[in-house]
């Protein structure tokens, strides 16, 4: 099997067709229709000169799976097409790719500008690890674009965006912030995990590097971890070089599961988004609910930006329950069709408070500083029937309200 190549004939076709066919190859052993799992740490050569040329990248081929692997290469080609990128590099987790991209492009004395609302693990890199390396980190209020622009203008080597944010679902205006970053020559990195390439292609809005936790929607079944970066060949070569040395490469078995998952991405996401909107609308009507976050709601503070830069509003809804953590503890065990777990983007609906999911790495004080309330619950809406999900949430809220009244 040759190194996977981006099939240009697929550009312009619909996202469901792309999810299935992008990056796929023919000519598999035994006429297999599916990408084989090439479980080999190394690839053997009898011709030393050819081996050397492959090792130098002068001929296509594979040497050692920490550098590249045929199954992983198919996944990388698939994501390149979906994200309209020249190249992609896969990692063993979302945090693996985020930390590697940041460590590839940042070093002592550089300055990174980002927002307070990024995923908790990413926030830890900003608060704990990068300052230790001598990187100046500036985290702005996510909803204050003027503040972000002003900080970029004061000096910025890398602008890091996550939009929509986890779990508050705030939206950043990608084009506007890219324009500010380009004025000072900063590289722009965007986490596209929540939007997925079905809803948003940050590279087409001027972003340089897109990162994904493939653990979420891309794989879609909550059974594998992975991460992937997409961008130009030049940038991805640098990221690949870093991965070769830090060793956070993706396993071919995991790559196979992610490839299989992506084939149904567009289909899954369609159903999940439709249910998410219905659940957000329903939550708005509930007296036990203090506030609802969903970019598809007209009253969402960034609804118009979301409408401009996204093709859909996503499948995550979050809400603040009146009564804080005590009420959350009563509500969650009453749900019948949901896991209470620290994951998202799977076929099953998953509920989780920010305290035990996205911001488990943060202390109470840090969460308070980030504006993450203890009653904030994230719903990753699954592919179940919308009516069943609504009925389940309704019964759980009603039973919780009764218990709270009787306390």
Is 116 an active-site residue?
no
Is 119 an active-site residue?
yes
* Dihedral (Cα; 38, 39, 40, 41), 10-degree rounding: 120
Cα–Cα distance for residue pair 332/400, rounded to 1 Å? 9
Give the contact letters, 200-219, x = binds to ligand PLP (CB under 6 A), - = no. Answer: -------------x-x----
For ligand PLP, which stretch binds (CB under 6 A), given 87-95, 271-279, 332-340, 362-370?
A: 87-95
If the CB atoms of residues 61 and 252 are measured against ligand PLP, the closer one turns out to be: 252
For ligand PLP, which stretch binds (CB under 6 A), given 60-68, 90-98, 275-283, 287-295?
A: 90-98
Which helix (H) or strand (E) element contains residue 188? strand 187-191
Is 367 an active-site residue?
no
Q: Which phi and psi (to 5°) does residue 257 adopt?
A: -65, -35
In this chain, which residue has its C-beta nearest to ligand PLP? 94
For ligand PLP, which stretch binds (CB under 6 A), given 10-18, 93-101, 247-255, 309-317?
A: 93-101
Q: Which phi and psi (to 5°) does residue 233 adopt?
A: -60, -40
User: Tokens 């001027």 map to which residue?
Assistant: 206
If the CB atoms of residues 282 and 319 are measured against ligand PLP, the closer one turns out to be: 319
Identify the active-site residue in 7, 45, 64, 66: 66
Is 216 an active-site residue?
yes
If the CB atoms of residues 62 and 242 are measured against ligand PLP, the closer one turns out to be: 242
Cα–Cα distance for residue pair 150/98, rounded to 1 Å? 25
**Residues 118 to 137: which contact ligand PLP by CB under 6 A?**
119, 121
93 in contact with ligand PLP (CB under 6 A)? yes
What end-to-end distance do the CA atoms of the chain give, in Å?
65
Residue burial 186-201, b: 16+ Cβ < 10 Å; e: rest? bbbbbbbbbbbbbbbb
DSSP strand pairing (111-115 vs 158-162): parallel
Smallest separation, CB 126 to ligand PLP (Å): 13
If the CB atoms of residues 225 and 235 are measured against ligand PLP, the closer one turns out to be: 225
94 in contact with ligand PLP (CB under 6 A)? yes
Identify the active-site residue in 173, 191, 208, 251: 191
197 in contact with ligand PLP (CB under 6 A)? no
Identify the active-site residue in 78, 110, 170, 216: 216
Give the contact letters, 153-192, x = binds to ligand PLP (CB under 6 A), - = no. Answer: ---------x---x------------------------x-
Which residue in 225, 249, 315, 331 binds ligand PLP (CB under 6 A)? 225
CB 174 within 8 A of CB 202: yes
Q: With CB under 6 A as the rule, give the number of residues binding ligand PLP.
A: 15
Contacts of 40 (CB under 8 A, 6+ apart): 65, 69
How many other CB atoms are there within 10 angstroms of residue 40's CB atom?
A: 14
Is the preceding peptide bond at 393 cis, omega within 30 degrees of 0?
no
How many other CB atoms are there within 10 angstroms of residue 68's CB atom?
A: 24
How many other CB atoms are there within 10 angstroms of residue 307's CB atom?
A: 15
Cα–Cα distance for residue pair 314/61, rounded to 1 Å? 38
Which residue in 71, 115, 163, 193 binds ligand PLP (CB under 6 A)? 193
Instruction: Give catalytic residues, as residue numbers.
Output: 66, 119, 191, 216
Contact residues for ligand PLP (CB under 6 A)?
A: 93-95, 98, 119, 121, 162, 166, 191, 193-194, 213, 215, 225, 227
């Amino acid at each position: 099997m040759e190194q996977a190549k981006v099939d240009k004939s697929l550009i312009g076709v619909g996202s469901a067709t792309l999810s299935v066919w992008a990056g796929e190859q023919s000519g598999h052993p035994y006429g297999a229709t599916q990408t084989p799992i090439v479980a080999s740490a190394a690839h053997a050569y009898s011709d030393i000169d050819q081996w050397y040329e492959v090792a130098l990248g002068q001929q296509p081929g594979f040497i050692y799976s920490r550098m590249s692997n045929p199954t992983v290469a198919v996944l990388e080609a698939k994501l390149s097409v979906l994200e309209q990128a020249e190249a992609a590099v896969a990692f063993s987790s979302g945090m693996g790719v985020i930390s590697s991209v940041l460590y590839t492009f940042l070093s002592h004395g550089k300055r990174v500008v980002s927002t307070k609302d990024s995923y908790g693990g990413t926030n830890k890199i900003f608060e704990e690890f990068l300052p230790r390396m001598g990187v100046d980190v500036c985290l702005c209020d996510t909803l204050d674009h003027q503040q972000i622009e002003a900080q970029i203008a004061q000096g910025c080597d890398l602008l890091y965006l996550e939009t929509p944010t986890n779990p508050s679902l705030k939206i950043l205006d990608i084009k506007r912030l890219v324009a500010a970053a380009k004025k000072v020559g900063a590289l722009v990195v965007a986490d596209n995990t929540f939007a997925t390439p079905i809803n948003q292609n940050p590279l087409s809005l001027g972003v340089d590097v897109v990162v994904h936790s493939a653990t979420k929607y891309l794989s879609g079944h909550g059974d594998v971890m992975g991460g992937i970066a997409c961008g130009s060949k030049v940038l991805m070569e640098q990221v690949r070089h870093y991965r070769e040395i830090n060793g956070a490469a993706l396993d071919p078995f995991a790559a196979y599961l992610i490839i299989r998952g992506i084939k149904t991405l567009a289909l899954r996401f369609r159903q999940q988004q439709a249910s998410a909107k219905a659940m957000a609308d329903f939550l708005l009507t509930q007296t036990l609910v203090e506030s609802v976050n969903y970019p598809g709601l007209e009253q969402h503070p960034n609804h118009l930006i979301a409408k401009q830069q996204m093709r859909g509003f996503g499948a995550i809804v979050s809400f603040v329950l009146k009564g804080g953590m005590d009420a959350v503890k009563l509500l969650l065990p009453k749900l019948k069709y949901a896991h209470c777990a620290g994951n998202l983007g799977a076929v099953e609906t998953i509920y989780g408070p920010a305290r035990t999911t996205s911001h488990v790495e943060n202390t109470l004080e840090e969460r308070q500083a980030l504006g993450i309330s203890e009653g904030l619950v994230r719903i990753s809406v699954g592919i179940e029937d919308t009516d069943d999900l609504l009925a389940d949430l309704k019964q759980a809220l009603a039973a919780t309200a009764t218990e709270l009244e009787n306390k």
